[in-house]
């Protein structure tokens, strides 16, 4: 089946930029997503990118998509302690309805 | 605009019992999908409903079932509960019709503990 991979852990200092990376295998992916999960909570949609785009910026968040290498990244500028959470990358294939395939999540720790 | 509402938020059951979880999507959204989140397996797709019809199903045993009502609210049911069914069950809502148009919003989840 299709696969989405992420590194497990990232630690940064407050004020620095964070870059969370993700790779996927489905060449038919139509949308790619970033979700944030805080302890005890559900998934918060941060941003998503259509597969024919290579970049999307939304305030402190920048998503880069390299479709050739099937690589997605999320950059958080000026990282704050409130950004500490688990970040999930996910992809969807238009042929499969609204079925998301998730990565295992990257735990971001922001040190003051 | 209200978000995705899941009830109950927490519940405890014993092995062999059955459980029903409810999800009310964002107003106007007709697609509801369900996911199971566990520490060992991560986030796994259970099923998706659109206009009261199951459109996709993940790789889960028949003990897991669901349905969608005419007002787009959805329920999922797990029968003959096992310890391994302990998980956070998440519901996602989308306005997408025959093709996905981007935004999928999740609820806060229902945390099920099976003793």
pLDDT tens track for A12-27: 999 999 999 999 998 8
CA gap A60, B20 in Å, rounded: 40
Looking at the partner chain, which of B42, B48, B90 has a beta carbon nearest the beta carbon of A97?
Answer: B48
Tokens 């038919």 -> residue: A28
Q: What is the per-residue pLDDT across A11-70, written as a single tens digit (0 to 9) for each?
A: 999 999 999 999 999 888 888 999 999 998 999 999 999 888 899 999 999 999 999 999
DSSP per-residue codes, B28-67: T--EEEEEEEETTTEEEEEEEEETTEEEEE-S--TTEEEE
Please tell me if residue A49 touches chain B, with a CB cutoff of 8 Å: no
* pLDDT value, residue B95: 81
The answer to whether the CB of A89 falls within 8 A of the CB of A102 is yes
Q: What is the count of residue pairs from A and B with beta carbons less than 8 Å apart?
A: 69
């Amino acid at each position: 089946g299709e696969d989405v991979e992420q590194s497990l852990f990232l630690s940064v200092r407050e004020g620095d930029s964070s870059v969370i990376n993700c790779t996927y295998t489905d060449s038919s992916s139509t949308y790619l997503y970033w979700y944030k999960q805080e302890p005890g909570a559900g998934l918060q949609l941060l941003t998503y990118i259509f597969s024919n785009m290579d970049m999307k910026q939304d305030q402190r968040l920048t998503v880069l998509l390299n479709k050739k290498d099937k690589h997605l990244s999320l950059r958080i500028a000026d990282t704050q302690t409130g950004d500490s959470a688990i970040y999930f990358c996910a992809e969807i294939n238009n042929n499969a309805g609204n079925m998301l395939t998730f990565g295992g999540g990257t735990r971001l720790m922001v040190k003051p | 605009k209200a978000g995705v509402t899941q009830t109950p938020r927490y519940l405890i059951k014993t092995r062999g019992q059955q459980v029903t979880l409810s999800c009310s999507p964002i107003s106007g959204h007709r697609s509801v999908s369900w996911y199971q989140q566990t520490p060992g397996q991560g986030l796994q797709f259970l099923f998706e409903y659109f206009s009261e019809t199951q459109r996709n199903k993940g790789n889960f045993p028949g003990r897991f079932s669901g349905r969608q009502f005419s007002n787009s609210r959805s329920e999922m049911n797990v029968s003959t509960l096992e310890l391994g069914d302990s998980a956070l069950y998440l519901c996602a809502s989308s306005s997408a019709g025959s093709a996905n148009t981007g935004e999928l919003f999740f609820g806060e989840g229902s945390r099920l503990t099976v003793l």
